Amino acid sequence: MKELLIRYKAANLAAFQQQRAGETRLGETLMFPDATLPLADTLRLAKAAGVLYVLLGIAEDIGPRANFGNGGADLGFQAFLKRFINLQANDYLDGRQILLLGEINLQDLQQQSAALQSHDANDLTKLRQLCAEVDERATPVLQAIFDAGLTPLVIGGGHNNALPLLKALAQSSGGKVNAVNLDPHCDFRLLEGRHSGNGFSYASAQGYLNHYFVLGLHELKNSKAAFEQLQQAGAGYCSYQEIYLHQNFNFNQAIAKAVSFVTASAAPLGIELDTDSISMMPVSAFTNCGVSVREAELYVYQLAKLPQSRYLHLAEAAPAQHPAGLAAGMSEAGQVLTALVLAFIQARQS
């Protein structure tokens, strides 16, 4: 059976780690998994040692490409790590509470997908089959993290990975779960084979998702069929136009609306953020009409303060799509993803 997880060790960070005399970087204080133990035992021991959060990468762009989008989301986790591990280790963040677990083992699937083109019907079918295989590999790893009572911080890949997250959380908790998604797209598209645009509709249809709210949804970037499916599922949303054009709500009020919707039940809550929602972010679906980084941080912070919040998912960052090139994209994506993870952790500490 193929190993589902590539476990990281400190040596994996050596090429990224910066050193300066008299300073300690966050990467030097993080916890790493024991490669010799079964995953459940590794996570149990990590929790006993004081770990609260588990960093997990998903290095794939199969889901966005299966949704006729651009590639590059496979580099999101690497961009994040380069920035995150070089933060200063100080009293504001205890790296010993964070387990850098590694990444889902998807290298073979990425290789199989490399030459596939979404405009070819046969290739599109294969891409969607590969996306379903990503689901199958990610779900048991994520469920093991939830079962251990730890909080996964999942970074990289397409928004297709909302499905394995919601499935794993539902299976671990024994019932349907809730989610809030900061996203111009509702990702509630037809059940036409797996891709980044239907993670939530699949989760709903398969009985994992209960209350679902989309914040910042763009009224003209979603199909009529998707809106109809949202309505049938009893989901809620507050559109970008309502906030910024009609000014029916300010951003804080929109967040409060989302919180009220998903806290109608005490079910576990997933915090979803498609970085496509952030203006000028290098992503698979670039926009200059989105929320600011500061607003995205605030969204994460406010949702993470809720006691039922169980994970953070940051999807779709694609550094290669930066107009100034890959190096600029790695830097910018890394900074934004790091800021969002810090917002989550600081909210939990508060």
**Model pLDDT, residue 16:** 86
d(CA 16, CA 14): 5
**Model pLDDT, residue 147:** 98
**Model pLDDT, residue 43:** 98
Q: Give pLDDT tens digits for 169-228.
A: 999 999 999 999 999 999 999 999 999 999 999 999 999 999 999 999 999 999 999 999
* Contacts with 170 (C-beta within 8 Å, 6 or more apart), sequence order: 176, 177, 207, 208, 209
Contact 262, 271 (CB under 8 A): no
- Given phi > 0 = left and psi -120 to 50 = alpha, else beta, which region is 66? alpha
**Model pLDDT, residue 177:** 98
**Model pLDDT, residue 12:** 87
What count of residues does the chain have?
A: 350
d(CA 65, CA 308): 33
**Model pLDDT, residue 186:** 98
- Segments of the chain scoring below 50 in pLDDT: 1
Cα R_g (the chain), whole angstroms: 19
Tokens 């024991």 — which residue? 34
**Model pLDDT, residue 285:** 78
Q: Residue 338: give its domain's CATH number.
A: 3.40.800.10
Q: Is the pTM of this model over 0.95?
A: yes
Structural domain boundaries enclosing 102 = 5-349
**Model pLDDT, residue 133:** 98
**Model pLDDT, residue 321:** 92
How many domains is the chain built from? Answer: 1
310 three-class SS? strand
d(CA 319, CA 331): 8
